[in-house]
Every structure is written in C-alpha cells, then in structure tokens.
C-alpha cells in the first residue's frame, strides 16, 4: 500500500440513521454517540485514525438541504480538500435511497467509496434479498463494500477501498434544457464550486447556496434558473430517482427489510392510537421505579448516608484535624460549605447515581427506536403548542441534558420551532440530574404534592408553548419524520454510552459544583452570605415563603439547577422544609434556567437578543409562579 | 355544430323526463332552444329514430340522452369539486365537454372521481358501466394515501402539495410519483413506508398524496 503524501480527509456522509457514527467509532476507536433515531449527530465530529482524519457528519436526505444540520453536511462537501475522500454510508436494505444519494455525491466530483452498512441484518432474517456489491460497483464506477459496522464485517476491506478511492463514473442525464443550463453555469462557477452538483442546486433554487456564491455571478445564476422549466427541483429529482432505480436494476440487486416480525409489531403498538398511551405509561412507570426508586432512593441513600456520611467525610475530617491546618483550609475542605462535604458529596453521592441510572434507562430507550414513535404518538398534542411531533425528540432529550437537547433543536425544520423548543427546554424540562433529585424529594410527600409539581410543569409547557406559538414569528414546519426499525439494544453500546455520559457529567458538572461551593464558602467567610440572604429575603422568605437558608440553593442554582436542587434535598432531609415549602422550592428550581452551560448554548444558538430575552422571562416567570403558589397555599389553607 | 344541437335537444328532453314535464313543442324545452338550427336537429333525431314525431324519447334516444347528461354532470363534478372552479365556470365548461368526451374517457373520469352519484346541483348522475363494476369491486382509480386500508400497497399517481417545499421534502426520501408506498398507520398520525423507509407525515400531506392501487 502506498503511503499518501498528506493524511487523507475521510468524510462520512449518508442518510440519517444508517450508522455513520458507529462506523466513525470503528474507524477511529473514539466514542461517538450512537442511537436508533435520526438526528443523534447534529455537529461535525472529527478524529484522526491510521488511515487519515475521519469526519462524522449529521445525516442528510439529499444535497438540497432542508434543515441547518443538513447544511452543515453539505458545506463540508463543498469545502472538500484535494486529499478528501467521501465515504457514503448507506443502509443495505434501502438501496433506492442510498443510490439516490450516491448519484448526487457523484455530481460533487469527489473520490467516493460507498459502504452498504447493516449487511448483518440482511442475513439475520430482518432483511431479504441479494446485493452483489461488485455488480453495483460496476454501475457506480466507485468501490462499493457491504459492511456491518456493528459486527465489524469488512471494515478492513473498506479501509483498503478508501486508499484507492476514485471519482464515480455514474451520471444522471437530465432534460435538454437543464443540461444546457448546467453547461452554461459550469464555466462561470468559482473553481472550488465547479461541479454539476452545484450547478444543479442553483437551478433547483437552493437558497442555502446563495451566501457561498460570489456576488458577480448571482445574476447569471438567476438567468440560468429562469431558462429552465420550473419547478426544476422536481424535474431533477425525478431524473435522479429514475437513474437510481435503473442502476439498481442493472446491478440485479434487490433488498428490503422484512415486515411483520415481532419487533415491527411492537413498534406499531408503540405508536398506536389506543395502545400507545398505556405503553407510554408503562415506560414512565419503569423510569419512575428505576431512576426514582433505585437511583434516587436506594443508591443515593447508601452513597450519602453510608459512603460519604459514615466513611469518607468523618475519616477525612478526622485525618485533617490531625494535620492541624489553618481554619480557612479546614473549612474550605470539610466545613459547612466544604469542597468535600458539600460539592463532592452533592456531585458524587446525590447526583451521580441518578445520572447513571437515568442514562442507562434512556440509552435503552434511544437504541430501541421508541423515541421517534413517541413523536408520532404526541404529534397532535404538540401541534397545540405550535410545534410538531419532531420536537418531541429534543424535548425528551432535554430530560437527559437540556444543553445537549438545545443543540438538537437543529434537526427542526423551522426557526420558529427551534426558538420555542429552546425556551421550553430551559423553562420546563428538568434534566436527569435534577429530575432524580426531584423524584427523591417528592417520593416521601405523596401524590398531591407530586401532582401539583407535575401539573404546574406540564401546564407551563402547555401555556408558554401556546403563547410562544403566537408570539414567535414564522410558520410551523410540516411534520415529516423518518421512523427507524425497532432494534434490540446492545448491552455494549449502552455501557459505552452510560460511561461516556457519566464521564461528561463528572468533567462538566463537578468543576461547576466546586466553583459554586467555593463561592458560597467565600461569601460565608466574609459574612456576605447573611447579607445576601437578608437582601433576597423579601423574595425568598416573604414571596416564596421559604427559610432564608434556601437562598443558598438559589444562589448555587444559578450555576446548575441540579446543584440547587441537591441543596434543597439536603435541607429537606435535615427537616428544614415543610412539604408546602418543598413543593414551592422544587417548582421554582425546575422552572429556573438549567445551568450556565445551557445559558451559553441558548445565546450561541438563538443569538444574544433572543437568548437574554428568554433568560429574563424565565427568571421572572419561575419566581412569579413560586410566589403565586405560596399565596394560593395560604389563601386556601393547603397543607400537604 | 348540428351534432351539438342534437345533443342539446336530447339533453333537454332528458331534463323534461327527469322533472316530469310534458313536452309538446320545442318551445317547452326552453327559450334558447326554439330556433332554426334546433328544428333541423329534431328532424335529424326523428330520422335516427331517437325521437318520435310528438317529441318523446325512444329507447335509443334515452340511451343517447343519458350518456350526454352523464358526461355533462361528471364534467361539472370534475371542474367544481376536483379542480375547485366556480359553479358557473364548471357549468359552462361542462356544456362544451359534454360533446367531446369519449365513453372510455368518461368512465375514467367517473372512476377518478369515485363514481359520484350526484352533480354539484344535486341532480342524479346516470351511472355507466364503470359504476356497475364499481358496485362489485369497490376500488376507485385514484385515492388519497390516507384513505387506503392500513397495510395496503399502492403506487403514487400524483402529489398535489400546498407548497413546493413539501414536494421537495418528500422527494428527498425518494417519494415521487411512481414510487410504491404502503400505509402503515393512519392514527394517531399518518405513517407510510416506501421501501425500507418508514415516514410519519402530517395528515394534511397524507391527503395530498394520491395513489393508484395495484
């Protein structure tokens, strides 16, 4: 094998949910999150490997982009370097769509390798058919390799094919008018954009291409577009579909996914108008039991009371006392606001077990293919709040982490929807860490308290969503969502995902916990904490009816609201909060901005003006609701 | 033109029978019928044994009149209901169409429209051969994908979306006229499968995709 002069740049491109990220992990030995729903990857990820730099991209349906994550993938193709190779990942059971994209990639004038993934499913009884990769390769004019990223079939052969990748010879012939317009456009396009694919996209009226075109040729492009019968996009797609079908027929390939098996039937039940709801209730009950009872109950109790309460903290205090450190150091490490006794106890004993159990549960859900079916089930309800079923994905992901979910709003097809979902995530969707703590706090209070909290949170999502749908300009996008096949989750992938997410949590959250604790400690050390508590007491004590001590939870809640919730959790355990106060405090901290990271992502994704407006609204709304609840409790003499 | 005049006379004789009106002279059929060209049309009809000398329809005349009325009223439904024109436009265009369409085309239009029983004015559309077949095999020629029985496979005849963006979005999934699709679920949302791809759709889009059963 000849050694290339500079390392190859290998771009993985393909339809959504065909396994690009899994192949990325296989080629780079680096973890990339893999799930069974379209839109797991919304950002470009790259990592080096022995065969070159591997770049993972969000899924695309066509090279005429429809959403911002598709634009990202398309732009990457346009920025291709001299030494770039495109590896198209496709579903072997879905040749028609795969070849449709292959033909478009061929028009981008790049060396291409087509890998038909999930070849194992074709042999395991899930799929049906025969696919002769070399016959297809003959038709495409580039290497075609049938692989299974999951079972690691033919990965070696794919690596070899990447090394000797060539530009495909397959080409679609369009109508005379289109071909003439393409021929006219090609010479005037700047050299980096000079390919049939770009010329065709211009004729099809791809608005996302505009910013990339030099201003001097815009008029000529418009003229060329007007010279072809419109809608040219449809004429072009029809020609491509016909060419893809002809190509598959020539290669004598036929494949499909078998229908009617048990998994497909379960999948159908999950989105059934009658059975869907009981199944959802079952899923939620399981989550409640697994995360609320086992994670937030049994595991947190043991970690907090026994591991930290009996072993680690007393021994650390004992050890430190023996060293006779200055009081400042002693208090900083193991005092009331100590790094060990507060930050690490909260982070490791209270939040970590919840995060781990939640992500274990959530990963199973992700890998089965349940989430897109949930989107189908909830589509109508979401319509009422100005969204469509597709928005279920980021909203449910928000239960894992609001920050990540805010990035996932990129899969939504309109700016209006992205804005509404970003707001609702920050306002009404508690993240896993917080949710676990909340479940743990609500569990001893009984059903009425839990119903008030759930009612207000869901009511807020409904009300604010309904209002936002009327305030935020723009039209709602159509609901068009691909439903992946139901699959059996693999234990390895789940363990990898849980480990990766736990690692991410420890890296991202724990430092913030420590910073927050040190801040509290310093404020306390200089006696400023009492001042802040007194200053905020009209709000906290009179408005919300909480003890002044609860101010601390809200101060650190600005950093991460799960940290604030953990503070309330310890106050409740120590008996410093009545059930009424617990519900008010929990509701306010739920509606609060999730964390600094989420705020930053909000500002980045939605722009400073929209981001700060949302943040200000959330602040006022959350405390306003808390004060309202407190007043109502007093007015009606509610004692929980 | 002579041919059109005979059609016109037969049509109006049919209306008179339909409305139980007695016809003694051409004037009874309506003011605009009573002129020289129509009078020669009547002679022609009498010569063809379609009408007797007292202006009553014979069996052959009834059959011819029925076909004309059927063409006229189906054309009205086509323009008014399927194409969404105004009632006046539908009517005037139907008057032109009733002279031109062949029986094969009329049966196709009838099937396409799902064998409508009445015209936009609420009057009965005489049935054709296609309607008798239809009473046995209840499949219209073209139907909306959302109206398919769940699990049925059909090929897309045409897509009539509200926006081009919808058409492009579907096309990106390879869903174009000619593609074979299966209705997976109708509720709570429309789900279709094209090859190995399953897609959940807005109900409205499900009503814009017209399919032909195999």
From B103, B136, B169, the end of a domain falls on B136
Q: Is residue A60 part of a domain?
A: yes
Chain A: nearest CA to B90, how far in angstroms? 28
Q: Is the pLDDT of residue A188 over 80?
A: yes
For the stretch B18-63, pLDDT in tens is 888 888 877 777 766 667 778 888 888 888 888 888 888 899 999 9
Q: What is the pLDDT of residue A1?
A: 40
Rounded CA gap, A508 and A511, in Å?
6
Q: Which of A600, A632, A631, A635 is nearest to A615 (CA)?
A: A600
For the stretch A49-86, pLDDT in tens is 889 999 999 889 888 887 778 888 888 888 867 789 99
Q: What is the pLDDT of residue B134?
A: 59
Averaged pLDDT, A131-146: 91
Rounded CA gap, A275 and A254, in Å?
34
Q: Is the pLDDT of residue A200 over 90?
A: yes
Averaged pLDDT, A232-244: 90
Question: Same structural domain for residues A545 and A498?
Answer: yes
Question: Residue B200: which of A91, A256, A375 has the nearest Cβ?
Answer: A375
- For residue B188, whether the previous peptide bond is cis, meaning omega lies within 30 degrees of 0, is yes
B114-124 exposure pattern, b = at least 16 Cβ within 10 A, e = fewer = bbbeebbeeee
Q: Is residue A170 part of a domain?
A: no
- Domain count within chain A: 3
How do strand B209-213 and strand B142-144 relate by DSSP bridges? antiparallel
Rounded CA gap, A564 and A554, in Å?
6
Averaged pLDDT, B187-191: 89
Q: Is residue A566 part of a domain?
A: yes
Q: Cα A515 vs. chain centroid, distance in angstroms?
A: 27
Partners of residue A376 in chain B, C-beta under 8 Å: 185, 188-189, 191, 200
**Furthest C-alpha separation in chain B:** 68
Sheet bearing B180-185, strands edge to edge? A480-483, B197-201, B190-194, B180-185, B153-159, B209-213, B142-144
Highest mean pLDDT among A126-130, A200-204, B170-174: A200-204
Model confidence at B2, pLDDT cuts 50, 70, 90, reads: very low
Rounded CA gap, A234 and A237, in Å?
5
Q: What is the pLDDT of residue A231?
A: 81
- Give the CATH number of the domain where residue B124 resides: 1.10.60.10
Handedness of CA A584, A541, A509, A591 (dihedral sign): positive
Q: Is residue A4 part of a domain?
A: no
Domain residue limits at A459: 276-478+492-635
Question: Same structural domain for residues A232 and A300?
Answer: no
For the stretch A335-375, pLDDT in tens is 888 999 988 988 888 888 888 998 899 889 889 999 999 99
Q: What is the pLDDT of residue A2?
A: 43
For the stretch A431-460, pLDDT in tens is 888 887 888 888 888 889 999 999 999 999
Q: Is the pLDDT of residue A3 over 70?
A: no
Q: Is residue A1 part of a domain?
A: no
From B107, B136, B165, the end of a domain falls on B136
CB-based contacts of A227-232 (< 8 A; 24+ apart in sequence): A227/A177, A227/A180, A227/A181, A227/A184, A228/A175, A228/A177, A228/A178, A228/A181, A228/A203, A229/A175, A229/A177, A230/A205, A231/A204, A231/A205, A231/B164, A231/B167, A232/A178, A232/A203, A232/A204, A232/A205
Instruction: Please identify among residues 498-557 of chain A the ones whose CB lies closer than 8 Å to any CB of chain B.
Output: none
Question: Residue B189: which of A256, A379, A482 has the nearest Cβ?
Answer: A379
The chain-wide mean pLDDT, for chain A, equals: 88
Question: Same structural domain for residues A601 and A502?
Answer: yes
Domain residue limits at B155: 142-213
Question: Same structural domain for residues B67 and B114?
Answer: yes
Q: What is the pLDDT of residue B135?
A: 57
Rounded CA gap, A40 and A366, in Å?
9
Q: What is the pLDDT of residue A5?
A: 62
HEC per residue, A449-488: HHHHHHHHHHHHHHHHHHHHHHHCCCCCCCCEEEECCCCC
Q: What is the pLDDT of residue B214?
A: 67
Q: Which of A277, A240, A568, A280 is nearest to A396 (CA)?
A: A280
Tokens of A73: 């993938």
Q: What is the pLDDT of residue A33?
A: 79
Averaged pLDDT, B116-126: 83
Instruction: Compute the half-sphere exposure of residue A161: CA atoms within 13 Å on the CB side of its CA.
Output: 24
Please state, for a pLDDT cut of 70, what percent of chain A lies above it: 98
Rounded CA gap, A232 and A209, in Å?
16
Question: Same structural domain for residues B147 and B129?
Answer: no
Question: Same structural domain for residues B131 and B74?
Answer: yes
- Domain count within chain B: 3
Q: What is the pLDDT of residue B31?
A: 60
Contact B164 A231 (CB under 8 A): yes
For the stretch A488-538, pLDDT in tens is 888 988 998 899 888 888 888 888 889 888 988 999 899 988 888 888 888
Question: Same structural domain for residues A158 and A180?
Answer: no
Closest B-chain CA to A237? B171
Chain A: nearest CA to B149, how far in angstroms? 15
- For residue A231, whether the previous peptide bond is cis, meaning omega lies within 30 degrees of 0, is yes
Helix (H, G, I), strand (E, B) or coil at B140: coil
For the stretch A548-606, pLDDT in tens is 889 888 888 877 888 888 889 889 988 999 999 999 999 999 998 888 888 888 998 89
Contact B188 A273 (CB under 8 A): yes
Whether A94 contacts chain B with CB within 8 A: yes
Tokens of B48: 């063809």
Contact A231 B167 (CB under 8 A): yes
């Amino acid at each position: 094998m000849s050694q290339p002069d500079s390392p190859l740049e290998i771009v993985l491109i393909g339809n959504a949910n065909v396994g690009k990220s899994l192949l990325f992990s296989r080629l780079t030995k680096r973890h990339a999150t893999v799930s069974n729903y379209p839109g797991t990857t919304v950002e470009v990820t790259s990592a080096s490997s022995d065969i070159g730099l591997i770049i993972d991209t969000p899924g695309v349906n066509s090279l005429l982009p429809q959403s911002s994550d598709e634009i990202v993938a398309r732009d990457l193709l346009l920025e291709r370097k001299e030494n770039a190779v495109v590896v198209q990942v496709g579903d072997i059971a879905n040749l028609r769509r795969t070849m449709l994209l292959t033909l478009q990639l061929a028009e981008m004038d790049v060396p291409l390798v087509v890998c038909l993934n999930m070849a194992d499913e074709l042999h395991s009884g899930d799929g049906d058919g025969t696919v002769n990769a070399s016959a297809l390769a003959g038709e495409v004019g580039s290497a075609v390799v049938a692989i299974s990223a999951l079972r690691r079939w033919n990965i070696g052969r794919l690596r070899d094919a990447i090394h000797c990748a060539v530009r495909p010879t397959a080409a679609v012939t369009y109508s005379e008018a289109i071909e003439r317009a393409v021929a006219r456009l090609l010479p005037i396009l700047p050299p980096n954009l000079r390919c049939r694919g770009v010329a065709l996209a211009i004729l099809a009226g791809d608005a996302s291409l505009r910013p990339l075109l030099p201003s001097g040729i815009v008029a000529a492009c418009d003229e060329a577009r007007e010279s072809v019968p419109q809608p040219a996009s449809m004429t072009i797609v029809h020609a491509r579909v016909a060419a893809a079908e002809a190509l598959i027929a020539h290669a004598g390939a036929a494949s499909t996914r078998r229908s009617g098996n048990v998994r497909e039937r379960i999948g159908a039940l999950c989105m059934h108008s009658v059975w869907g709801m009981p199944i959802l209730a079952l899923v939620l009950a399981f989550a409640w039991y697994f995360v609320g009872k086992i994670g937030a109950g049994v595991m947190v109790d043991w970690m907090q009371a026994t591991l930290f309460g009996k072993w680690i903290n007393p021994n650390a205090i004992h050890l430190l006392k023996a060293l006779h450190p200055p009081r400042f150091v002693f208090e900083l490490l193991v005092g009331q606001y100590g790094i060990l006794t507060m930050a690490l106890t909260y982070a490791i004993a209270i939040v970590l077990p919840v995060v781990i159990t939640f992500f274990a549960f959530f990963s199973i859900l992700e890998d089965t293919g349940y989430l897109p079916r949930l989107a189908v089930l909830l589509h109508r309800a979401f319509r009422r709040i100005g969204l469509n079923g597709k928005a279920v994905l980021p909203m449910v992901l928000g239960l894992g982490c609001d920050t990540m979910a805010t990035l996932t709003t990129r899969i939504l097809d309109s700016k209006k929807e992205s804005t509404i979902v970003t707001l609702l995530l920050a306002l009404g969707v508690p993240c896993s860490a917080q949710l676990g703590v909340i479940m743990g706090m609500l569990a001893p209070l009984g059903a009425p308290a839990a119903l008030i909290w759930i009612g207000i949170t869901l009511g807020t999502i409904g009300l604010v969503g309904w209002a936002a749908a009327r305030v935020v300009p723009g039209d709602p996008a159509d609901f068009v969502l691909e439903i992946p096949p139901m699959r059996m989750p693999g234990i390895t992938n789940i363990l990898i995902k849980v480990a990766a997410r736990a690692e991410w949590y420890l890296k991202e959250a724990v430092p913030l916990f420590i910073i927050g604790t040190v801040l509290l400690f310093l404020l306390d050390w200089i006696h400023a904490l009492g001042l802040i508590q007194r200053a905020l007491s009209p709000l906290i004590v009179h408005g919300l009816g909480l003890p002044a001590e609860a101010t601390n939870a809200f101060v650190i809640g600005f950093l991460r609201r799960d940290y604030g919730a953990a503070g309330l959790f310890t106050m409740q355990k120590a008996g410093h909060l009545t059930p009424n106060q617990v519900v008010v405090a929990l509701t306010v901290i739920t509606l609060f901005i999730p964390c600094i990271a989420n705020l930053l992502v909000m500002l980045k994704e939605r722009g400073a003006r929209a981001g700060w407006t949302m943040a200000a609204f959330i602040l006022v709304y959350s405390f306003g609701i808390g004060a309202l609840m407190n007043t109502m409790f007093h007015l009606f003499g509610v004692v929980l | 033109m002579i041919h059109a005049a005979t059609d016109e006379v037969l049509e109006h004789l049919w209306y008179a029978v339909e409305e139980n009106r007695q016809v003694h002279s051409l004037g009874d059929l309506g003011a605009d019928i009573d002129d020289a060209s129509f009078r020669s049309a009547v002679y022609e009809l009498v010569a063809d044994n379609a009408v007797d000398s007292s202006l009553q329809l014979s069996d052959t005349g009834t059959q011819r009149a029925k076909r004309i009325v059927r063409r006229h009223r189906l054309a009205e439904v086509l323009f008014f209901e399927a194409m969404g024109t105004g009632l006046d436009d539908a009517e005037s265009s139907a008057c032109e169409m009733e002279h031109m369409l062949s029986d094969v085309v009329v049966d196709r239009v009838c099937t396409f429209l799902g064998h409508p029983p009445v015209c936009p004015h609420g009057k009965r559309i005489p049935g054709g051969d296609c309607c008798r077949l239809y009473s046995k095999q209840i499949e219209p020629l073209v139907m909306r994908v959302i109206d398919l029985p769940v699990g049925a496979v059909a090929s897309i005849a045409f897509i009539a979306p509200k926006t081009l963006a919808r058409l492009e979005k579907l096309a990106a999934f390879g869903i174009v006229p000619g593609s074979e699709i299966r209705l997976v679920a109708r509720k709570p949302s429309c789900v279709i499968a094209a090859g190995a791809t399953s897609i959940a759709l807005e109900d409205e889009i499900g009503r814009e995709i017209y399919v032909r059963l195999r």
